[in-house]
Amino acid sequence: MSSSSRLNRAYKNAKTIWFGEEDKFIFFSDCHRGDNSFADDFANNRNIYFHALNHYYREGFCYVELGDGDELWENLSFDSIFEAHKNVYQLLRRFHLEQRLHMLWGNHDMVYRDPEYVEKNLSHYFEPIDGSDKELFEGITYHEALILKHKDTEQEIFCIHGHQADWWNYVCWRIGRFLVRILWKPLQVVGIADPTSPAKNYKELIRIEKRIKRWILSKNLLVTLAGHTHRPRFPEPGQIPFFNDGSCVHPRSITGIEIENGTISLIKWHIDTRPDGTLQIVRVLLEGPEKLKDYIEN
């Protein structure tokens, strides 16, 4: 199956979410939440991510995670990840209880495409303090793709992880997972990167982006929002509308895409220093805001 066929299938089976000018969304991807070990890239940005997530919860945003939220190639189970970042999952649970949580699976958490696995591992967690099982993401469903559809204009925004355009990481993900666990995770200690990752292989990154752009052209310039490559992308109106929210494992920062008041923006959260020498976490606007309707092909 070609990358175009995989993207077409994901689009056909995508869950549709209707939205209006009053609705607000934050898109993050590629958090790669791990077990807080030396190989947990998320651990460096955990406080930044948690602060940003708190902000979006208070401001009434819906949270959309575009895949690779949990690092289930390096780690054998969700339990160790949950224990390492329990406060993050308890905050995500609050989004879930208010029906403001939408989760996609990527290649590193592709096991979540199995509803039985999700039910078994994510519905409950064991609380050692009182020795009881407690609800976590009861009834949650992971999707391969989402379509946000505007109530008035019927403009569509196609949301996907992006590994559908990456043959190795979609078709051979089990082999990739094995190699990461056995080979690349230990080598990461001495700074040797996994060459199969498009985030660390520039030529492969460009090939993946070209495939997605060709598909967007075949779909009459359908606005498409993805992750996977870890490279933020924000096209101007009139260009091919391929957006990428970047990742949450940049050095000392995370990037994401916001939709608010009918506009779209690329943002970054990072640690900054005040004049008195104290540290603060700040939000920086990188691109936009641009009106979504300006990306409609006339």
CA atoms of 133 and 147, how far apart (whole Å): 34
Parallel, antiparallel, or unpaired for β 124-127 and 132-135?
antiparallel
Look at residue 14 and tell me whether its pLDDT is greater than 90. Answer: yes
* Top-confidence range, 11-25, 66-80, 171-185: 11-25
Tokens linked to 148: 């946000």
DSSP for 170-229 reads HHSHHHHHHHIIIIIHHHGGGT---TT-GGG-HHHHHHHHHHHHHHHHHTTS-EEEE-SS
Closest CA to 71 of 167, 172, 180: 180
3-state SS string over 116-127?
HHHHHHHCEEEE
221's torsion region: left (phi>0), alpha (psi -120 to 50) or beta?
left
- What is the arithmetic mean of pLDDT over 125-148? 88
Residue 195 pLDDT: 54
How far apart are alpha carbons 82 and 34 in whole angstroms? Answer: 8
Q: φ, ψ for residue 201 (rounded to 5)?
A: -135, 100
Query: What is the tens place of the pLDDT at every residue in 232-285?
Result: 999 999 999 999 999 999 989 999 999 999 999 999 999 999 898 899 999 999
Give residue 176's pLDDT.
77
Average pLDDT over residues 165-171: 77
